[in-house]
């Protein structure tokens, strides 16, 4: 009996494992190998040892892309979580048209990033300057990143709100009743009851947000293509544009390896730190 | 050097031996109907309609060969990705730029010097391709099909109405811009949000102000860009004062639309922009002139390079059939159809009717007073277009030139090593 069941589980797992290995692990290992070459993406190549990694830490353009990506990821993650938590609280309260509103606020998530990007492109280039009588924010090397934050946040708030709403629904009503007897209402209720109890959802949202924004690509492609003055080149954008379209396959593979290690490290640290602060009921 | 070179072919050969060969046997085979299948991938996405017509015409008139022509979006990336998988189309239609240099260097393209159609091609365009090779390589690796011409497009009706003359020197050009401005019309509408458009005036200025082989000279270590590009940079910067406010907010499409609607008198772009402009204003009377960057009108040179060439891949198993396809594509009627649709300049000899937007450049084309785009030598990963955009925003010419030189040596390290190695062994 037990043997049979085990076999079923293996039958389910092994094909997936094979697929995962072929389409994920294998390319990763080959990318790792190419990071030690001067491969252009085609033709012959030479082994260059650690040259790509040494160059990586001296390349101003790569350095700027890391700074930009971190700045974008931090600001967007904070903005998205604060706003979507507030939205979730509002959409979880006893208001009219709750379901309809929830549906409406979810729409940005089902639109493709490129579509959203092009719409906002028009918005920032023509509508905002017309209304405020300023020049386009997308043409300003200092502030173009803010436009990207706005688009990223606008789009991902939808999903985060849904996760927070489902979190809020796991908090039983009697906790609030008991709390209100002890005088916990309003801000105190949120601070000492609601927030600690939805901490696991906060963790998942923070980790997902951070990871997604670190890998930001579509929005940049649609809004600025890395400009103006190369001020909005994210790491993924640089890896794609110089690794695939340019001839730096080897060098950008090294960049991708470093980027991969970085994302894993950040996600693990974040999960550890936030998990330690979760409460169990 | 060559001892530790691992070719991808060798590496994949090992993998292939494991039994994947049957699956990988992909392109260039014979189809079920017994016809030879030829696949052409071109990067001329804007010419997809023309090529569809030519493809159908070819298939109707040939019983033994079936051709498929595709023009994917971002074709060079598509091609590179396919090359990684060792999946080669029979013919690639690419521009005469650094992509071609890389493909030749990587040994992906076949020598086509035994193709009889080569004799029809104008020698100057074969020379252009020859110069694009990193180190002189024996043989011909592409059949030049058509060239483009870049300079300044102008609204002919508007010029007639105001009685403006075509400028032949830089001071005449700036004076004209002042006159246009005084008439309450924007001289130029620039779409510098799309970084690549910064290269259009750049190239047109650079071929008159810098030596045509400046990149090769730098690679050989005999000069620097700072020495030759200062005037180019300053003159492009000077264009900004004649353009709309904040040209970095608007893209190529915006600029074409504005020019088409008569908001500006001129646009510093190539003839390839005309279909885009006419899609907004189909009846617009557009002509062009050569960018006058110099003070002596006789020193003007037209910026014209190989815009489309057909290369046979080394992996193509049916070279004769591939030649038949190219022969068809460069013969008079197919060429005329392409030239009329795309406002292009044919690279082959013959009596062609040139599009009227090239009227102002006609004498330069006929006399062969042309030079290749300098950006055809720039490695794409160096993003020279974005560097020019950065410079145009902050206006610091010294910083720009210093960065240009230092980035050039960094991004071309392997090529410079190869070139200097070549000259060291050659003598």
pLDDT tens sequence across A223-238? 888 878 888 888 888 8
Residue B379 and residue A229: Cβ atoms within 8 Å? Answer: no
Nearest-CA distance from A73 to chain B in Å? 24
Give, for B252, the enclosing helix (H) or strand (E). Answer: helix B252-260
Mean pLDDT on B407-415 = 82
User: CATH code at B417?
Assistant: 3.40.190.10
Name the token pair of A158. Answer: 């939808």
Q: Is B197 on the interface with A (CB under 8 A)?
A: no
B397 shares a domain with B257: yes
pLDDT at site B264? 92
Q: Is residue B369 in some structural domain?
A: no
pLDDT at residue B6 in the model: 43
**Cβ separation B389–A42 shorter than 8 A:** no
Q: State residue B33's pLDDT score.
A: 63
Q: Say if B7 falls within a structural domain.
A: no
Residue B23 has pLDDT above 50, yes or no: no
Per DSSP, the three-state class of B304 is strand
Q: What is the pLDDT of residues A155-180, one digit of tens each?
A: 889 899 999 999 888 888 888 888 88
Question: Mean per-residue pLDDT for A107-116?
Answer: 85
Note whether A244 contacts B254, CB cutoff 8 Å.
no
**Structure-block tokens of residue B404:** 């240009």
| Domain membership flag for residue B368 | no
**What integer pLDDT is reported at residue A50 of this predicted model?**
84
Q: Is residue B267 domain-shared with residue B156, that is, in the same domain?
A: yes
Same domain, B71 and B209: no
Whether A47 and B4 lie within 8 Å, measured CB to CB: yes
The pLDDT of residue B378 is 86
Mean pLDDT for the stretch of residues B94-116: 87
pLDDT confidence of residue A49: 81
Global confidence as pTM: 0.76
Tell me the pLDDT of chain B averaged across its residues.
84
pLDDT one-digit tens code per residue, A42-75: 777 788 888 888 888 888 888 889 999 999 999 9
pLDDT for res B89 = 92
User: A228: cis peptide before it, omega within 30°?
Assistant: yes
HEC letters along chain A? CHHHHHHHHHHHHHHHHHHHHHHHHHHHHHHHHHCCECCCCCCCEEECCCHHHHHHCCCHHHHHHHHHHHHHHHHHHHHHHHHHHHHHHHHHCCCCCHHHHHHHHHHHHHCCHHHHHHHHHHHHHHHHHHHHCCCCHHHCCCCHHHHHHHHHHHHHHHHHHHHHHHHHHCCCHHHHHHHHHCCCCHHHHHHHHHHHHCHHHHHHHHHHHHHHHHCCCHHHHHHCCCCCCCCCCCHHHHHHHHHHHCCCHHHHHHHHHHHHHHHHHHHHHHHHHHHCCCCCC
Q: Which residue segment(s) compose the domain that B48 sits in?
A: 25-147+305-358
In this structure, the answer to whether residues B143 and B195 fall within a common structural domain is no
Q: Strand pairing partners for B69?
A: B40
At residue B13, does pLDDT exceed 80? no
Domains of chain A and any CATH numbers: 24-275 (1.10.3720.10)
Confidence of residue A181 (pLDDT cuts 50, 70, 90): confident
pLDDT at A1: 52
Number of structural domains (chain B) is 2
What confidence score (pLDDT) does residue B260 get? 92
pLDDT confidence band for B360 (50 / 70 / 90): confident
Q: Evaluate whether residue B363 is within a structural domain.
A: no
Which residues in A lie closer than 8 A to residue B381 (C-beta atoms)?
A: 241-242, 245-248
B6 touches chain A (CB under 8 A): yes
Q: Where is pLDDT greater, at B214 or A281?
A: B214
Is the CB of B381 less than 8 angstroms away from the CB of A248? Answer: yes
The pLDDT score that the predictor gives to residue A5 is: 85
Asked if pLDDT for residue B275 goes beyond 90, the answer is: no
Nearest to A228 among B245, B389, B410 (CB): B389
Q: Are residues B216 and B283 in the same domain?
A: yes
**Residue A2 confidence class, pLDDT cut points 50, 70, 90:** low
**Same structural domain, B183 and B280:** yes
> Where does the pLDDT of residue B131 fall: very low under 50, low under 70, confident under 90, or very high at 90 and above?
confident
| Mean pLDDT along residues B11-28 | 39
In a domain, B366, yes or no: no
Chain B residue numbers with beta carbons less than 8 Å from the beta carbon of A244 are: 77, 80-81
Same domain assignment for residues B67 and B197: no
Average pLDDT over residues B411-417: 81
Summarised one tens digit per residue, pLDDT across range B249-273 is 888 888 999 999 999 999 999 888 8
Report the C-alpha gap between A189 and A41 in whole angstroms: 58
pLDDT given at position A20: 92
Mean pLDDT, chain A, integer: 85
ipTM of the complex: 0.72
Nearest to A245 among B105, B194, B380 (CB): B380
Task: Report if residue B259 sits inside a domain.
Answer: yes
Assess if residue B20 is contained within a domain.
no
Residues B277 and B194 placed together within one structural domain of the fold: yes
B287 in a structural domain: yes
Q: Looking at the structure, tell me whether residues B267 and B380 fall in a common domain.
A: yes
Q: Are residues B185 and B102 in the same domain?
A: no
Looking at the fold, whether B315 and B260 belong to one and the same domain comes out as no
Residue B427 is predicted with a pLDDT of 55
Q: Is A136 in contact with B246 (Cβ distance < 8 A)?
A: yes
- B156 and B256 fall within a common domain: yes
- pLDDT for the residue B17: 41
């Amino acid at each position: 009996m037990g043997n049979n069941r085990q076999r079923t589980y293996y039958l389910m797992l092994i094909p997936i494992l094979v697929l995962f290995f072929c389409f994920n692990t294998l390319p990763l290992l080959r990318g790792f190998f190419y990071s030690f070459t001067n491969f252009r993406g085609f033709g012959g190549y030479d082994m260059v040892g650690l040259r790509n990694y040494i160059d990586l830490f001296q390349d101003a353009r790569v350095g700027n892309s890391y700074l930009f990506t971190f700045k974008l990821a931090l600001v967007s993650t904070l903005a998205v979580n604060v706003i979507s938590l507030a939205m979730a609280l509002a959409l979880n309260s006893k208001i009219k048209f709750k379901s309809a509103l929830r549906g409406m606020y979810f729409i940005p998530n089902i639109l493709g990033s490129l579509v959203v990007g092009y719409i906002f492109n028009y918005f920032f280039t023509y509508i905002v300057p017309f209304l405020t009588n300023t020049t386009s924010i997308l043409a300003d090397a200092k502030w173009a990143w803010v436009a990207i934050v706005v688009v990223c946040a606008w789009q991902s708030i939808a999903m985060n709100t849904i996760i927070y709403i489902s979190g809020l629904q796991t908090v039983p009503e009697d906790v609030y009743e008991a709390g209100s007897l002890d005088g916990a209402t309003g801000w105190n209720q949120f601070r000492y009851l609601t927030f600690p109890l939805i901490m696991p959802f906060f963790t998942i949202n923070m980790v997902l947000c951070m990871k997604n924004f670190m890998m930001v690509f579509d929005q940049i492609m649609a809004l600025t293509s890395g400009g103006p003055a190369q001020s909005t080149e994210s790491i993924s954008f640089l890896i794609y544009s110089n690794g695939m379209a340019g001839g730096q396959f080897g060098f950008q593979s090294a960049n991708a390896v470093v980027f991969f290690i970085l994302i894993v490290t950040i996600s693990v640290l974040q999960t550890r730190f936030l998990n330690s602060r979760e409460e169990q009921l | 050097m060559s001892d530790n070179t691992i070719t991808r072919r060798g590496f994949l050969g090992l993998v292939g031996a494991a039994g994947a060969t049957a699956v990988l046997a992909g392109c260039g085979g014979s189809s079920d109907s017994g016809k030879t299948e030829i696949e052409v991938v071109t990067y001329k996405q804007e010419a997809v309609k023309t090529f569809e017509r030519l493809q159908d015409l070819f298939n109707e008139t040939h019983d033994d060969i079936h051709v498929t022509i595709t023009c994917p979006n971002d074709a060079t990336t598509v091609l590179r990705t396919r090359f990684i998988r060792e999946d080669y189309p029979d013919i690639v239609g690419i521009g005469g730029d650094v992509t071609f240099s890389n493909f030749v260097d990587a040994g992906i393209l076949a020598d086509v010097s035994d193709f009889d159609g080569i004799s029809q091609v104008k020698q100057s365009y074969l020379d252009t391709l020859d110069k694009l090779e990193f180190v002189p390589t024996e043989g011909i690796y592409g059949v030049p099909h058509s060239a483009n011409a870049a300079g300044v497009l102008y609204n002919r009706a508007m010029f007639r109405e105001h009685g403006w003359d075509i400028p032949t020197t830089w001071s005449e050009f700036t004076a004209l811009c002042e006159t246009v401005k005084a008439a309450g019309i924007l001289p130029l509408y620039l779409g510098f949000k799309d970084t690549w458009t910064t290269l259009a005036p750049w190239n047109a200025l650079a071929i008159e102000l810098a030596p045509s082989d400046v990149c090769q000279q730098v690679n050989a270590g005999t000069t620097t860009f700072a020495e030759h590009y200062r005037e180019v940079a300053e003159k492009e910067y000077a264009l900004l004062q004649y353009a709309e406010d904040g040209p970095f907010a608007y893209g190529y499409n915006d600029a074409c639309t504005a020019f088409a609607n008569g908001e500006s008198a001129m646009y510093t772009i190539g003839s390839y922009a005309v279909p885009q402009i006419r899609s907004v204003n189909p009846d617009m009377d557009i002509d062009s002139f050569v960018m006058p960057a110099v003070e002596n009108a006789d020193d003007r040179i037209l910026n014209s390079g190989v815009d489309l060439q057909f290369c046979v891949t080394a992996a193509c198993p049916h070279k004769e059939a591939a030649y038949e396809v190219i022969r068809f594509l460069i013969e008079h009627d197919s060429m005329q159809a392409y030239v009329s649709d795309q406002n292009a300049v044919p690279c082959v000899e013959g009596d062609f009717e040139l599009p009227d937007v090239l009227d102002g450049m006609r004498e330069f084309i006929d006399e062969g007073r042309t030079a290749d785009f300098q950006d055809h030598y720039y490695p794409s990963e160096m993003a020279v277009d974005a560097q020019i955009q950065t410079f145009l925003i902050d206006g610091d010419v010294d910083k720009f030139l210093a960065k240009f030189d230092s980035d050039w040596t960094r991004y071309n390290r392997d090529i410079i090593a190869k070139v200097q190695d070549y000259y060291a062994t050659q003598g």
